[in-house]
């Protein structure tokens, strides 16, 4: 009788150990598979993050140079701003999903109608430059504010100079 109890206990122990060892092997295989999937996914995400981070750095640089200033009553782009426009154009040509909005602004001298039209001419000049550089028309939108949104609100030339601008918003 004692032997029968010992055999039953041993069988119970052996079967328990067997069950646990099988389930542990199964879990090990699953966790290895899951780890591989997670690693692969992480590598993809890491690559995407690096690309996104690089794109963010480029955008930050472009935003530092996204304002084009104009002379009094002029709409022609001054050559000192061409490098900034070239950089934005290159970015857009290489990133077709990105878009820009060109905002046209003037100082407060002149009538509302005149300033609105002058801001529109400034927009057209910048837009035309981008199109010549290969930016797609569908990547460009624009809005003329005229004198409605000054950066500086005062009646002296140093304020006016800062308000005569086109701002390029990159989306």
Is residue 26 very low, low, confident or very high in pLDDT (cuts 50, 70, 90)? Answer: very low
Contacts of 130 (CB under 8 A, 6+ apart): 85, 88, 89, 92, 100, 140
Q: Are residues 157 and 80 in the same domain?
A: yes
> Is there a single domain that holds both residue 104 and residue 148?
yes
Domain, as residue range, for 125: 66-170
Of residues 28 and 163, the one with the higher pLDDT is 163
Query: Of 26, 44, 64, which marks where a domain is finished?
Result: 64
Q: Do 24 and 94 share a domain, yes or no?
A: no
- CA–CA separation, 136 and 148 (whole Å): 29
Nearest partner of 77 among 164, 170, 171, 169, judged by Cα: 164
The larger pLDDT score, comparing residue 53 to residue 84, is at: 84
Same domain, residue pair 87 and 98: yes
**pLDDT, position 71:** 95
Number of domains in the chain: 2
**Do residues 90 and 149 both lie within one domain?**
yes
> Are residues 43 and 107 located together in one domain of the fold?
no
> Which pairing describes strands 100-105 and 165-170: parallel, antiparallel, or unpaired?
antiparallel
Hey, what are 156's tokens?
Answer: 């002296």
**pLDDT level of residue 43 (50, 70, 90 thresholds):** very low
pTM of the predicted model, to two decimals?
0.67
- Do both 156 and 87 map to the same domain? yes
Residue 128, pLDDT > 90, answer yes
């Amino acid at each position: 009788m004692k032997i029968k109890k010992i055999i039953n206990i041993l069988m119970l122990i052996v079967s328990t150990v067997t069950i646990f060892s099988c389930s542990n092997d199964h879990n090990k295989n699953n966790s290895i598979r899951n780890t591989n999937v997670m690693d692969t996914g992480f590598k993809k995400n890491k690559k995407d993050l690096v690309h996104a981070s690089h794109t963010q750095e480029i955008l930050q640089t472009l935003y530092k140079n996204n304002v084009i200033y104009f002379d009094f009553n002029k709409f022609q782009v001054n050559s000192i701003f061409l490098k900034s426009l070239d950089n934005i154009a290159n970015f857009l040509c290489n990133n077709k999903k990105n878009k820009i909005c060109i905002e046209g602004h003037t100082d407060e001298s002149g009538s509302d109608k005149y300033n609105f039209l002058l801001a529109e001419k400034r927009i057209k000049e910048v837009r035309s430059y981008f199109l010549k550089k290969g930016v797609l028309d569908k990547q460009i939108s624009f809005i003329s504010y005229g004198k409605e949104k000054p950066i500086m609100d005062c009646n002296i030339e140093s304020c006016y100079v800062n308000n005569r601008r086109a701002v390029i918003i990159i989306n």
